[in-house]
Structures are given as C-alpha cells and as structure tokens.
Amino acid sequence: MDIRLLSDKEKPPMDLLVLADPSPKMVEEYLKEGESYIAESDNQLIGIYVLLPTRPETVEIVNVAVAEKYQSRGIGKLLVKDAIEKAKTKGFKTIEVGTGNSSIGQLALYQKCGFRITGVDKDFFIRNYEEEIYENGIQCQDMLRLAQEL
C-alpha cells in the first residue's frame, strides 16, 4: 500500500469521503483548506484521510475513510498512523480528531493510536447535519474530541 498526497489536478473521491462524513457540504468545506492523502494498492484507491490545520501548531484529521471491501484489515489504523507522522514532519505540535458518540469502532481506533478524549461538543451532529445519523443502533448527536501531543 502506498499513501500519497492527492494532487490539485485530481478530483477528491467523494464516494469514499462520504463513508466517513455523510454530508457532502461539510466535506467540500474542509477539502478547500485541508490536504488529502490517498492510499492505493495495485492501482486501486482503498483509503483516504484529510489533514486540516486549525490553529498555530495544531492540525486535525477531519476524515478517515476506507473503501468498504477493504475495511477490517487494519488500513484505517495505518492511515491514522501515517497522518500522525505527516503532522510531525510538518512541525505540528498537536493533532486532533473528532468522532461521533455512536462511532464505537472509530473511537477505539483513535485511542489505540494514542489519542485521548479532551472534550465533548454537545449536539454537534444535530446542529450541523440535516439528516439524523445512526450507527450501532445509537443516534449520533455529540462529537467526542480527541487529541495527542506530537
């Protein structure tokens, strides 16, 4: 698997990005300022993540998505680890991520990669998404904020 920066001439894979964020509008907004990194294997796009600088010395992973047929193979963890390394290389001191209260697998993944919960943005998904989101039989309402020092 190779991970590389998506060039300005390439169109971001929205079908993959909306797996992790169901709002094309939200995705379009952070794609404007973020850097997208894609994972490929045998010329197949298998994953993507987006890094977005948010404050001086702080960057956020705003999207991590793995193509459905490649999920549950450790690719998400490799993408998150790559994002952490890219952030270090770029001189950031803190990396953050947010995930839904119902995103149980993602929450476990981020903690396994060294992130710690720093807060809760109550009702984030109710305020910012037109349609209700359900995962694991739970309504996604709050954004759990996580971070790690680099």
CA gap 32, 72 in Å, rounded: 29
Structure tokens at 19: 């797996």
Q: Show the CA angle centred on residue 118, arms to residues 112 and 120, nearest 5°.
A: 110
Counting residues of the chain whose pLDDT is more than 90, the rounded percentage is 98
Q: Tens digit of pLDDT for each residue in 86-144?
A: 999 999 999 999 999 999 999 999 999 999 999 999 999 999 998 999 999 999 999 99
pLDDT confidence tier of residue 4, bands split at 50, 70 and 90:
very high
CA gap 43, 45 in Å, rounded: 7
Instruction: Please choose, from the candidates 59, 61, 54, the residue with its C-alpha nearest in 3D space to the C-alpha of residue 21.
Output: 61
Instruction: Say what the pLDDT of residue 122 is.
Output: 98
Instruction: Say what the pLDDT of residue 115 is.
Output: 98
Instruction: Give the phi and the psi of residue 44 in degrees, each rounded to 5.
Output: -110, 135
